[in-house]
Every structure is written in structure tokens, then in C-alpha cells.
Amino acid sequence: MTATAAGHHWWPDDVADLLIVGYGPVGQVLANLMARRGRRVIAVERHPRPYTMPRAVAFDGEAARILAAAGVADHLAAVGEPSGDYMWRNGEGRDLLYIDAAEVHGRNGWPESTSMYQPGLEEALIAYGKQLPNLTVLRGYEAVELSGTDDGAVLDVAGGDGVRRRLRGRWVVGCDGANSFVRRAIGSDFDDLGFHHEWLICDLVLHDRREFVPNNLQICDPARPRTQVSAGPGHRRWEFMLLPGERSADMDNRETAWRLLGQCGITPDDGLMERHAVYTFQAATARQWRSGRLLIAGDAAHLMPPFAGQGMSSGFRDVTNLAWKLDLVLAGRADDALLDTYAEERRAHVQHAIGMSVNLGKVICQTDPKAAADRDAVMIAARERKLARPQQSPFQPLTKGLVWRDEKGRGRRGAGDQMPQPRVATGSVEDLFDEVVGRGFVFASLDDPQQVLDSGQLTFLESLGARLVRLLPAGTDPTAAPAGSVVDVEGGFRAYLDGIAARSVLVRPDTYVYGAAGDAAAAGELVDALHHALQPALEPA
């Protein structure tokens, strides 16, 4: 360690490919994804110890797939459980809407919704990060000054003793929440959509594992909108909306929490109150997600009400989109203009998720008795006639950014889809596709990739570390599968390809489809198009 003229302290190892400000779950996932790729990562977190209270209580199937890529697949069953069904009722106890969240695995190979205990999830992510030798976490350091340079950024952080430490990184990502230091350094404000409500959150650790039917319940009562949901194994959350005229300072206390819980039939005999807190739910997106070498993700870039359960999952999508693009740029295999597609792609999906959340919130947060009665009449009539529309999915295909397009700029077949993750087998191994084939770029085909692509195309894919895999039909003996091939055990991958009239598909590392091809000639064009899209770039090292 040496002292600089400016009074900062300099450690020679305080240089990284990536500096991450904020080490909550989104920062933890980004750190693991980048360090697993061999990048030198330093994460800075102002809190000296991990936050021990739950905040988010659910993640979706795509987020589970991302968490598996971040190294914690084996821990998800311990910290989470399938969310199960979700019922909406009015203040009189009449059913308005029933959502049967089936426990069968969805397109990502994981349950469509998992209720989880966030401190347990973070503990698993942190423990995995500690196994990665190129990841350093500086706890108890607050970011205080940030400036960009031609080839990176300089970040000054201050420890609890006030001593500053200077970090240098080629890129900086702020995963530092709604009051993001990095977003302020970028100079970006939030566009606020004007949807604000305060809710009292009560988290309980239950004394027994009794069953709640339905498992998740929304009471759309104008006298007091309220919610009860699973918060992971042994944990449960109740939420109560503050009514007009009620003050946060009066509501955020244990006595009020137990009084409201008592109205739901819950007493201290049922469990320990882990915490109570008043939260303001809001909907907003940052106007700018990148400035030079500085980027933001998660709550630093967007805020949404909790009603669609998409807040944390959206942050995971952000950093998964960002990680592979940063890795390509760091490797010199893509121009840094590739990073402009990050906000372009993610903003569209986030706006969809926020729109879903706000629309649900407007139904739930209605406190006008007449408007609520009108709402109830419409929803009950639709339910009785079985006219209820299927629930809008949080999944959205990519329509902007890095996907294969035709001459008019329209996405080609399959472009922007998320690749499903069926079970596949080879030799004596059967598992989800990502676990068997591996992660990164994937060229999957019903034909032998070595036969449909020429040597230049194969060399390019090899430079990206792409996985080339031939899909064999269900029923094929996996022990007889040749190298580089897998058996599509349940036919899920073949069904997807048939649905888009394709024989081959080129998939990005975030599992979104770059494009698909119906024959060998188109497969070559597809690979060439990606090569062209990543230019201008340096030759692969």
C-alpha cells in the first residue's frame, strides 16, 4: 500500500475489469456471472454485513435459470418453494380471480414462480462468490467519487474510518438501488409514472408448516386492501395498504402490525414477527442507463410495484443481458457500441413489467367503495362466465437490439424468442439443457453443425466459445449419442423448432435467440450475420 499526493491510499491490486457498486442480490449475480467468465471483479458495498431481512419474496422461472447460471442451482430448493395458487377476493369474501400457478416446470425448466426467503438466497450467492478467486468484495466501503477515463473509470471509496481507497476499473456497473450513486454520476433522473402507495409490510417466521389455502391471497377491499403470500419455506408475509389520511410514522409499529394481523386471524401464537416496515411502492425508469464506461442495473435503473413479482427478476435479467456483452467487449470481440443494446433491449421489457404491475395495482389499490363495487361486478361476471382473460406473461420477446433482421429491419423467424430449456441426455447424464450442454453462445441444430457450417463460420463460433450441439430425437439411446450431440428427451426442443419452421437456432448467452434457420444455407447466413453485427471488432486474441 502506498499513499498518493491527494491523500488517497492505493493498493496495487485495486484494479479490475469490472467495478460493481452495490452488493445486494443483483450485484451478487452480476459479480458471479462475470467472475465465472474469468474477469477480475471488485464489488463495493457500504453495509458492513449482509442485510438480514427479507425484501423481495418471489422470482420467476427465468430468474431461477439465471440463478443457476450464477452458481446456486443446488440451493434454490432450500431457500424457495413453488409459489402455488393465487386468489383475489373482494371485501365481502367473493372470489374475483383465481390464478393456478402450476408447479410443473415452465419454458425455463424451473417453476414459473418461486416464493423465497431472500436472506437465504443472498447467503448462497455470497458463499459461491467466495469460491471465485478473481472476485473481491469490499464491505463497509461507500462510493464517494467517480470519474470516467478514456479506458475506464476511477472510483474512490471511503471506509468506516474515513480512509479513502482508490479503485480503477475498465467498466463500472451501479447495482446500488433506488438512490443510486452511479445513476447520479451518470446524471440520469427517473421518469416517474406517478403511481405511489404506502403499504405496511409484516414478515413472520411461522411456528408450524401449516398449509394456507389459497397459498397467496389478495383482498381487494376498499376499506383496507391487503395481501398475504408465501415468503419461502417457514416464512410468510402480510401487507396492508395505508389509507388516505394515515401516516407512516403512526402505522409503522409493532402494536399496529399485530392489530392488523389479528384482523386476519394471525396472533403472536402463530409466529415471530421478523420485521415490520412501511414501503412506498412506485413506478419509474431511469432516462439514461449508460454514460461511457458507467452503467446501471436493477433498482438503480427501474422501480416497480410488487404486484407482478417482477422487481428482483427484472434486475437479474438486466445483469444477465449485460454480463455477456461486457465480456465480449473486454475480450475485444465486439465494439463497445454493443453495450448500447443493453438499455435498448432491457428498457422495453422493464416497461412491460412496470405496466403489468401498475395495472394490477390500480385494481388492488382501489379505496373508493363505488368504483370497487363496479370493479367487483365486472370481475365476478367474467369469472362466472369463464371469460377471464389469461394472465399476461412477464415474458417478452426482444424486438430491439441484437437479433437477426431482414433487409427491412424486421426480426426474422425466432429472433428475440427466449430459448426453452427442455431436459436432454447424453451418455449417462440427463438434466436441463444448460447443465448438460453448458452456457454461452449455443448453435443447436437437428443437423450436424460441422456439416451445415463452413470452416470460417465454425472458427468464428469457436472464437466466441460457442457450444455446437446436434439434437437427436426423443427415444434415441443417449448412451449411443455421438460426441457433440444430445437426446431431446421429451421432444421439447424439436417442438419449439417445428413451431418456428426451423432446423437450427443460434442462441445468445442470455438464452435469447439471435436467429433461426430452416436449412443449411440459411444457417450459414445466420452465423455470418452475427459475425457482422459484432464488428467492428479486434481479431480474436
- Per-residue pLDDT tens for 153-169? 999 999 999 899 999 99
- At position 53, the amino acid (one-letter code) is M
Residue with cell 457498486: 21
Given the DSSP bridges, would you call strands 302-303 and 284-286 parallel, antiparallel or unpaired?
A: antiparallel
The pLDDT of residue 1: 45
Q: Which residues of 281-311 are buried (b: 16+ CB within 10 A; e: fewer)?
A: bbbbbbeebbeebbbbbbbbbbbbbbbbbbb
Calpha distance 20→136 (Å, rounded):
10
pLDDT per residue over 421-479, tens digit each? 999 999 999 999 999 999 999 999 999 999 999 999 999 999 999 999 999 999 999 99
Domains of the chain: 2-74+111-189+285-360 (3.50.50.60), 423-533 (3.40.30.120)
User: Does residue 190 carry a pLDDT above 70?
Assistant: yes
Cα(310)–Cα(294) distance, integer angstroms: 24
Distance separating alpha carbons of residues 50 and 139, to the nearest angstrom: 9
**Sole residue written with cell 458495498:** 45
Are 283 and 195 in contact, with CB atoms under 8 Å apart?
A: yes
> How many Cα atoms within 13 Å fall on the side-chain side of residue 490?
13
Whole-model pTM over 0.75: yes
As given in the structure block, the three cell numbers for residue 117 are 426467503
Residue pair 135/126 in contact (Cβ under 8 Å)? The answer is no
Bridge partner residues of 16 (DSSP): 169
* Section 330-334 average pLDDT: 94
Q: Considering the chain, what percentage of its residues have pLDDT values greater than 90? A: 85
Contact 80, 117 (CB under 8 A): yes
State how far the Cα of 38 lies from the Cα of 250, in Å rounded to an integer: 50
Burial label, 453 (beta-carbon count in 10 A; 0-12, 13-18, 19+)? buried
